[in-house]
Structure 1
Amino acid sequence: MDNITASEIAGLGVGTLLLCATFAAPKVDALIAASQRSSLRMCKKCGDLRMIACSKCRGVGLIREGATFGLTFVDDLYESFGAENSKARSIACPSCQAKGHFCCPDCSKSSLV
Structure 2
Amino acid sequence: MDNITASEIAGLGVGVLLLSATIAAPKIDAFFSSSQRSSLGMCKRCGNIRRLACSRCKGTGFVKEGGLFGINLVDDLYETIGNRESTVKQIACVKCQAKGYFSCPDCSKV
Maintained 8 Å contact 2:63/2:70: no
How many angstroms does 1:73 deviate by? 6.5
- Is the CA contact 2:64–2:89 (under 8 Å) kept in the aligned structure 1? yes
Structure 2: 5+ residue stretches without partners: none
Separation (CA, whole Å) in 2 of partners of 1:6 and 1:56 = 44
Deviation at 1:82, TM superposition (A): 6.8
Tell me if structure 1 keeps the 8 A contact 2:64–2:70.
no
CA–CA distance in 2 between the matches of 1:7 and 1:66? 43
Q: Normalising to structure 2: TM-score of the pair? A: 0.88
What is the deviation of 1:98? 0.6
Distance in 2 between residues matched to 1:47 and 1:10, nearest whole Å: 42
TM-score norm. by structure 1 comes to: 0.86
Q: What's 1:11 paired with?
A: 11
Q: How big is the alpha-carbon RMSD for the aligned residues of Structure 1 and Structure 2?
A: 1.9
Q: What code does the residue aligned with 1:93 have?
A: C
Deviation at 1:95, TM superposition (A): 0.6
Identity %: 62
Counterpart position of 2:90: 90
Question: Which has a greater percent of helix?
Answer: 1
